[in-house]
Structure 1
Amino acid sequence: MAEQENGAAEQQPQVKLNTLTQFVRDLSFENILAQKGGGGEVQPDVTVGVNLDAKKRAVEHQYEVSMKLNINSKNKGTGEALFILEMDYAGVFHIEGVPEDQMHPFLLIECPRMIFPYVRRIVSDVTRDGGFPPLNLENIDFMQLYRNELTRRQTEGKKPDA
C-alpha cells in the first residue's frame, strides 16, 4: 500500500514557478491637493481598486500577469480629492507542472502574491515622494479576490438580458 502511494506521488508533476522579470507598465500620480494650493488639516480616506489579468506568452511555459491598481484618497471632512495613483505592474513567469484546469486560478492567485511586495513598495515610495505620508497597502487576499470575481461572473451570467 505504501508503495502505491509513493508511486502516485512520483507521478504528480513538480510545480515550477520562476519569476523571470517584473516591470511597471504604466504609473500615474496626481497630487490634487498641491495643484489646488490646499493644505491644513486633512483626514485621508483611501480606496484601493485592484484588477488582475493574465495571458499566455509566445514562449512555451511563459505567462504574463498584470496587477492594475487605482488608488484614490479624499479628505474625510470635505470629500475633496487629495491624490490619485494609478499603476499597471506586470510580472513574467515561467510555470511548469500545473494542470491546465488549475492554471487560471494559479495565475491569478499565486503570481500576484509573488509581485505584491514590490507593488506595495512602489506605492509607498510614490506617495511619500509625492508629498504625503507613505501609503503602506495592507495584504491582499488574492484567493478571496478570485472567488469574488467568480461569483460576480456567475451572477452576471444568470441575469436575463434586458
Structure 2
Amino acid sequence: MAETNGAADQQQAPQVKMQILAQFIRDLSFENILAQKGVSGEVTPDVQVQVNLDAKKRPTEHQYEVVVKTQITSKAKDGGETLFIMELEYAGIFHIENVPDEQMHPFLLIECPRMLFPFLRRIVSDVSRDGGFPPLNLENIDFMALYRAEISKRMEAEKAAAPAN
C-alpha cells in the first residue's frame, strides 16, 4: 500500500512557481486632441480599446518578459471627433518554473497579463484624469478569449496560405 502512494506522489506534477520580478511602463503616449482643437462643451465619449500581447524568453533561466500593449481612442459619440489617444505598453518580468513547455505559451499570454492588468488599469485611469478627462476605468479583459481568438486567427491564416490539393 505504501508503494502505491509513493508512486502516485512521484507522478504528481511539481508545483508551478511564478514570481513577478519587475513591472514597468515601457512606453506611454497620451495626446489630448480635444484641448488642442479648443473644443468646449459637454461631450459623450465613445471609447475603443485595442489590446495586443507580446512575450519572450529572457537570457536568464526561467525568466520571461510579457508586454500588454493597449491603444485607447476616445471619440465624441455625436460628432466623431477624436478626444484623446493613449498608447501604453506595460511590461512585467516573470520568473516561472515547472510549467510544461506545451503550456508555456498560453501561460505567458493569459496568466501573466492577468497579473499585470490591475496596474495597467490604474495607470490608464490616472493618465486620462491627469490629461483633463474623467478617469477611464477599463473593463476587465478576458485574456483567455483574446488568446483563443489569436490562435484561431493564426489557424485561419495558415489554412488560407496552405496550397489547395
Mapped to 1, the partners of 2:88 and 2:9 lie a distance apart of 41
- Looking at structure 1, the residues matched to 78 and 22 of structure 2 have their Cα atoms a distance apart, in angstroms, of 42
Unaligned runs of 5+ in 2: none
Classify the secondary structure of the residue corresponding to 2:41.
coil
Q: 1:2 & 1:138 partners in 2: Cα distance?
A: 51
Q: CA deviation at 1:3?
A: 6.5
Spell out the pairing of 1:12-161 with structure 2 (5 A cutoff): 12-160=13-161
TM-score, normalising length: structure 1: 0.94
Distance 1:143 1:59, change over 3 A: same
Distance 1:78 1:58, change over 3 A: same
The Cα shift of 1:8 comes to 3.3
Q: After superposition, what is the alpha-carbon deviation per residue over 1:32-79, rounded to whole angstroms, capped at 9, x for unaligned?
A: 000000110211000000000000000000000000000000000000
User: 1:115-135 deviations in whole A, cap 9, x for unaligned?
Assistant: 000000000000000000000
Q: What's 1:8 paired with?
A: 8
Q: How far off its partner does 1:5 sit? A: 6.2
Partners of 1:2 and 1:153 lie apart in 2 by: 49
Q: Where does structure 1 differ by over 6 angstroms across 4 or more consecutive aligned residues?
A: none
Are residues 2 and 87 of structure 1, via their aligned partners in 2, closer, same or farther at CA, if it must alter by over 3 Å?
farther
Q: Return closer, same or farther for 1:63/1:160 CA change in 2, 3 Å cut-off.
A: closer
Output the amino acid matched with 1:57. R
- TM-score normalised by length of structure 2: 0.93
Change over 3 Å in CA distance of 1:9–1:46 after alignment to 2: farther
Secondary structure of the corresponding residue to residue 159 of structure 1:
helix
Residue identity over aligned pairs, in percent, reads: 68
State the one-letter code of the partner of 1:56. Answer: K
Q: Which amino acid aligns with 1:114?
A: M
The answer for unaligned runs of 5 or more in structure 1 is none
AA partner of residue 25 (structure 1): R
Question: Alignment partner of 1:158: what SS?
Answer: helix
Question: Aligned partner of 1:12: which letter?
Answer: A
